[in-house]
């Protein structure tokens, strides 16, 4: 293939011989054992349905989108699932922009076969109106850096994006109940996809006569004689099998690869689920809205805030008077005795405050009037307080 030839031209004969001789001692140029994976890192974007996977030096981004389309005639009750790959020249000099190469088409078919043929995604749940409207799920895989084994990295990126994707919720309206109404995320929570199982792709490389390695790098792909990709889930069910030419393989070797791939699929599945759970937890925390118990205040009116505070205090005083009715009865008895002694009650402050005798209320109001616009508020407060207290005395 073009990608394999490009890597071959960049390598010398001594480098190729060094890789083959190191594998005879069960060593690889990056220090791994023959059946060890490189470090797998899974990240997610700000929007649902976007993932970023890094497998060693291989860097792949996945995006999932959806739209309402008409279903196929032979499957009117099922949605559609499609996979598209984009190879950037930035990832590898052999990649050309524009028309997809043979390797890009092959990569898309391997991922599509593992997901669609195994019925991993419930396509029947994507039906909105049978025979008229269904959801079409599109997976876009962007290769950012080719460090080898694009199949496994792209498969993980597609699964991570599918697990975090949420489509808008829709309902049927209109007179004939055939009109589709899409609800934005602010109105109704988007719905996740129903995924039955996770098909994991595990790639093997045949180097030399008897050397078998897993997760080959771009240097090992340059010297390999053949490649085999096995897609299976944690239950041990084979979802897809791909061997694009190359040297022949014995049946015993294929069975050995199946056993190894079953173990590796379980490890990768646990890593994907852990990353998705942490993403869902962070998403749930972002969705929580904390509302402070603060009453609205019109800032255009200068005395509105003071009036609002006064009304709150008045309500509090009424609640306290209800809860402490017994104590108030005793206190009213004492005040009654004191009011009998003071026969000249005129409603002014000198009648009930022993320390304010001789205070002229007219002079007090005149002084308050000079303070401007707060006179009405303060006078109403004093009058309301006096009226309330006069009612308690009677």
Averaged pLDDT, 28-33: 89
Q: For residue 197, give the 3-state DSSP assignment.
A: coil
Residue written as token pair 């498969």: 155
CA–CA separation, 122 and 134 (whole Å): 12
pTM of the model: 0.70
CA–CA separation, 192 and 102 (whole Å): 33
Residue 241 has pLDDT above 80, yes or no: yes
Residue written as token pair 């053949």: 226
CA–CA separation, 161 and 292 (whole Å): 36
Query: Comparing C-alpha atoms, which of 241, 150, 177, 190 is closest to residue 48?
Result: 190
What confidence score (pLDDT) does residue 82 get? 93
pLDDT digits (tens, 9 = 90+) for 69-118: 999 999 999 999 999 998 888 887 777 777 777 888 889 999 999 998 89
| Domains contained in the chain, CATH given | 33-284 (3.30.230.70)
pLDDT digits (tens, 9 = 90+) for 260-273: 999 999 999 999 99
CA–CA separation, 152 and 288 (whole Å): 36
Report the alpha-carbon angle 50-125-127, nearest 5: 100
């Amino acid at each position: 293939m073009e990608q394999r030839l490009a890597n071959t031209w960049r390598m010398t004969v001594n480098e190729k011989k060094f890789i083959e001789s190191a594998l005879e001692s069960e060593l690889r140029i990056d220090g791994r054992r023959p059946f060890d994976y490189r470090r797998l890192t899974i990240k997610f974007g700000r929007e649902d349905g976007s993932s970023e996977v890094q497998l060693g030096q291989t860097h792949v981004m996945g995006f999932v989108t959806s739209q309402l389309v008409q279903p196929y005639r032979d499957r009117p009750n099922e949605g559609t699932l499609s996979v598209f790959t984009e190879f950037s020249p930035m990832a590898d000099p052999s990649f050309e922009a524009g028309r997809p190469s043979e390797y890009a088409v092959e990569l898309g078919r391997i991922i599509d076969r593992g997901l669609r043929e195994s019925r991993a995604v419930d396509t029947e749940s994507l039906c909105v109106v049978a025979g008229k409207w269904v959801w079409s799920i599109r997976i876009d895989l962007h290769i950012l850096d080719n460090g080898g084994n694009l199949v496994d990295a792209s498969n993980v990126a597609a699964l991570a994006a599918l697990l975090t994707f949420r489509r808008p919720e829709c309902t049927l309206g209109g007179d004939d109940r055939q009109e589709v109404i899409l609800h934005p995320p602010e109105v109704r929570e988007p719905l996740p996809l129903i995924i039955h199982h996770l098909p994991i792709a595990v790639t093997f490389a045949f180097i030399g006569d008897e050397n078998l390695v897993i997760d080959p790098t771009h240097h090992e792909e340059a010297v390999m004689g053949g490649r085999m990709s096995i897609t299976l889930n944690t239950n041990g069910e084979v979802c897809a099998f791909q061997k694009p030419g190359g040297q022949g393989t014995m049946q015993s070797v294929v069975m050995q690869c199946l056993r190894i791939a079953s173990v590796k699929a379980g490890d990768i599945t646990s890593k994907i689920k852990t990353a998705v759970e942490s993403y869902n937890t962070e998403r749930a925390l972002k969705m929580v809205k904390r509302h402070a118990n603060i009453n609205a205040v019109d800032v255009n009116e200068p005395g509105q805030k003071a009036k609002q505070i006064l009304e709150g205090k008045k309500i509090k005083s009424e609640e306290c008077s209800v809860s402490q009715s017994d104590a108030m009865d005793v206190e009213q008895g004492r005040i009654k005795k004191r009011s009998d002694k003071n026969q000249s009650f005129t409603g002014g402050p000198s009648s009930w405050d022993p320390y304010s005798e001789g205070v002229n209320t007219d002079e007090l109001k005149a002084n308050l009037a000079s303070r401007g616009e707060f006179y009405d508020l303060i006078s109403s407060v004093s009058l309301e307080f006096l009226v309330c207290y006069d009612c308690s005395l009677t």
